[in-house]
């Protein structure tokens, strides 16, 4: 553990470690698939001696992934993938008690955030693990001397995968990446049920609003947007969707939601959630007409979905109302309430996704790291999916842990499905 031991980490307060350990243990109880992988990793040490730098939300679920990778033999260092999502007690416990030096302090400024990304890169990673592609982007633009060390990397979220595919397309990507986000056992569940529940959780913790009866506008009806819509509807909201993709918009209509332009929705919405992976989805032209008292927040990866500079320009004053709520007063007296500085509201104001769903996402991460070590030589500098057999294995293990039985194809059925002559 030479390199990892030399690294010290940078956390808010190591004295928080005891509370962090209990939090990590609590999450572990909800992560049976990762537990099984960890047991095997302890025996087989498939990552033995590999230097791994991870840039992920520093939460109790991530801690269990980092411990699994460490138990697989990797020398792991961790930095935050978002300045507001860090659980300081978890970062302290990882650094003090689990030999996973962590560089993450909740509320760190931009300069510290990137200094922490830099510190994680000082580990000279052979594997990178990203959530949003900040680590790989920094490595490929500012730390190119590290490229020859790298065997491969993994990416956790939609926005990161989009960035990495763009890099692969123009030849900037210099090593293979596995798109964990694209595994079915990741985005079907994490993006939909995880983001769905935890986004509502973040809004509730920040505002304590009664959702029933409110007009709840969701920009983007992708995997995350569907999840948020489903849960907002369950709480009795009048859900309105805005979209740019006609197929997704049609799906929202047939799922029973009202669909309209953001220009129209801005005038009537009480709560707005952007979850598109795009920029300026709520922008100056919407703030011109936005309903007085509107609560606005973002659950997409970057804090550019709400054009905060435009909101600042259009406002005459601002003041903190409660933790995670900033009140902006517009020139005509209307007020707009921004949650969590426009950063991922589920991580800024709540705790991110529940452990039971991160169990599958992080099982994909652990198995993808192992796969990369075994197969990287045959891979190009491209973005690859998680192999289907791993995806299915994770679904099977999760079902087993839930005590759910499924049927098996009979040989006769297999033959029927594989044959074009049958069915006539
Ligand atoms: N909050 C979290 O914890 C969390 C978890 C997973 C993913 N994410 C992030 O959430 C974002 C969305 O992820 P996803 O998996 O749902 O992606 P997705 O591609 O399935 O869906 C995004 C949707 O937004 C729509 N869209 C794009 N621009 C728009 C605009 N201007 N107005 C309205 N709709 C627009 C697209 O047409 C698409 O249907 C990404 O940034 C992703 O990284 C966040």
Kindly state if the Cβ of 143 falls inside 6 Å of ligand 1: no
What is the rounded distance in angstroms from the CA atom of residue 70 to the CA atom of residue 41? 9
Any ligand 1 atom below 6 A from CB of 272: no
d(CA 47, ligand 1 centre) in Å:
33
Is there an atom of ligand 1 within 6 Å of 263 CB? no
User: Does an H or E element contain 5, and which?
Assistant: helix 2-6
Q: What is the DSSP string of 154-196?
A: EE-SHHHHHHHHHHHHTT---S-EEEGGGSHHHIIIIIIIIHH
CB distance 46 to 23 below 8 Å: no
* Cβ of 186 less than 6 Å from ligand 1: no
Length reported for the chain: 424
Tell me the mean pLDDT in the region 92-111.
Answer: 97
pTM recorded for the entire structure: 0.92
Ligand 1 mean position to 374 CA, how many Å? 32
Ligand 1 touching residue 340 (CB < 6 A):
no
pLDDT reading at 1 higher than 60: no
**Do strands 325-330 and 335-339 pair parallel, antiparallel, or not at all (unpaired)?**
antiparallel
Sequence-distant (≥ 6) Cβ neighbours of residue 234 within 8 angstroms? none
Mean pLDDT for the stretch of residues 356-366: 97
| Ligand 1 center from residue 323 Cα (angstroms) | 26
Ligand 1 pocket, 221 CB below 6 A? yes
What average pLDDT does range 53-80 have in this prediction? 98
DSSP 132: S
Predicted local distance difference test score (pLDDT) of residue 7: 82
- Which of 276, 285, 298, 303 has most ligand 1 atoms within 8 Å of CB, for mutation? 276
The secondary structure element, H or E, covering residue 239 is strand 238-242
**Considering only CA atoms, which of 196, 36, 56 is closest in space to residue 128?**
56
Pairing state of beta strands 315-322 and 294-298? unpaired
Q: What are phi and psi of 139, to 5 degrees?
A: -60, -45
Ligand 1: which of 59, 82, 222 to mutate, judged by most atoms within 8 Å of the beta carbon? 222
pLDDT at 3: 47
Q: What is the pLDDT of residue 424?
A: 60
Q: What is the mean pLDDT of residues 376-388?
A: 95
Helix axes 355-375, 17-28, angle to 10 degrees: 90
Let me know if 184 is exposed, middle or buried by CB neighbors in 10 A (0-12, 13-18, 19+).
middle
Check whether 4 has a pLDDT greater than 80. Answer: no
Report the candidate in 48, 67, 45, 44 with the shortest Cα–Cα distance to residue 56. Answer: 67
CA distances from 368 to 227, 362, 372, 397 (A): 26, 9, 6, 16
* Ligand 1 pocket, residue 125 CB under 6 Å: no
- The 10s digit of each residue's pLDDT in 11-39 is 999 999 999 999 999 999 999 999 999 99
Q: What is the 49 CA–ligand 1 centroid distance (Å)?
A: 37
Distance from CA of residue 365 to its chain's centroid? 12
- Contacts (Cβ under 8 Å, ≥6 apart) of 7: 77, 101, 119, 122, 123
Q: How many A from CA of 277 to the centre of ligand 1?
A: 4
Residue 178, CA distances (Å) to 152, 256, 262 in order: 8, 36, 35
State the distance from the centre of ligand 1 to the C-alpha of 127, rounded, in angstroms. Answer: 27
Residue in 200, 300, 303, 305 to alter for ligand 1 test, most ligand atoms within 8 A of Cβ: 300
Which residue's alpha carbon is at the smallest distance from atom 1 of ligand 1?
Answer: 299
- Average pLDDT value for residue range 332-359: 96
Q: Using one digit for the tens of pLDDT, what is the confidence trace for 298-316?
A: 999 999 999 999 999 999 9
Cα 191 to ligand 1 centre (Å): 9
Q: In this predicted model, what pLDDT tens digit does every residue of 226-276 receive, in sequence order?
A: 999 999 999 999 999 999 999 999 999 999 999 999 999 999 999 999 999
Helices (H), 222-282: 223-234, 246-254, 262-268
Q: What is the mean pLDDT of residues 205-223?
A: 98
């Amino acid at each position: 553990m030479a390199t990892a031991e030399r690294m010290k980490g940078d956390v808010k307060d190591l004295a928080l470690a005891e509370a962090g350990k209990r939090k990590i243990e609590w999450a572990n109880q909800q992560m049976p698939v990762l537990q099984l992988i960890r047991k095997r990793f302890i025996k087989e040490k498939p990552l033995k001696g590999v230097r791994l730098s991870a840039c992920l939300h520093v939460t109790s679920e991530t801690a269990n992934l980092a411990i699994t990778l460490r138990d697989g033999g990797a020398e792991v260092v961790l930095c935050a993938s978002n300045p507001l999502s860090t659980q300081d007690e978890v970062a302290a416990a990882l650094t003090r008690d689990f030999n996973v030096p962590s560089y993450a302090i909740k509320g760190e400024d931009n300069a510290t955030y990137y200094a922490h990304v830099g510190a994680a890169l000082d580990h000279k990673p052979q594997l990178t693990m990203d959530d949003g592609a900040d680590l790989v982007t920094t490595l490929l633009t500012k730390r190119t001397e590290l490229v020859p060390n790298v065997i491969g990397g993994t990416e956790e979220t939609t926005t990161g995968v989009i960035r990495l595919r763009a890099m692969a397309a123009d030849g900037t990507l210099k090593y293979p990446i596995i798109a964990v986000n694209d595994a079915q056992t990741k985005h079907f569940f994490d993006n939909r049920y995880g983001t769905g529940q935890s986004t509502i959780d973040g809004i509730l913790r920040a505002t304590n609003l009664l959702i029933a009866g409110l007009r709840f506008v969701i920009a983007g009806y992708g995997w995350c947007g569907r999840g948020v819509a489903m849960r907002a509807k369950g709480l009795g909201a009048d859900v309105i969707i805005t979209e740019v993709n006609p197929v997704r918009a049609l799906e929202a209509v047939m799922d029973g939601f009202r669909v309209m332009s953001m220009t129209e929705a801005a005038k009537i919405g009480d709560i707005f959630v952007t979850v598109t992976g795009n920029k300026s989805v709520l922008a100056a032209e919407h703030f011109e007409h936005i309903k007085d008292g509107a609560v606005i927040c973002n659950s997409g990866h970057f804090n550019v979905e709400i054009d905060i500079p435009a909101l600042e320009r259009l406002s005459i004053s601002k003041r903190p109302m409660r933790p995670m709520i900033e009140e902006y007063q517009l020139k005509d007296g209307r007020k707009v309430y921004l949650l969590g500085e426009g950063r991922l509201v589920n991580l800024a104001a709540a705790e991110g996704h529940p452990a039971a769903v991160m169990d599958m996402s992080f099982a994909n991460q652990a198995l993808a790291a192992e796969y990369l070590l075994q197969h990287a030589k045959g891979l190009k500098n491209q973005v690859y999916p998680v192999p289907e057999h791993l995806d299915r294995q994770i679904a099977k293990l999760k079902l087993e842990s839930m005590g759910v039985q499924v049927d098996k194809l009979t040989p006769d059925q297999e033959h029927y499905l594989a044959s074009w002559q049958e069915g006539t």
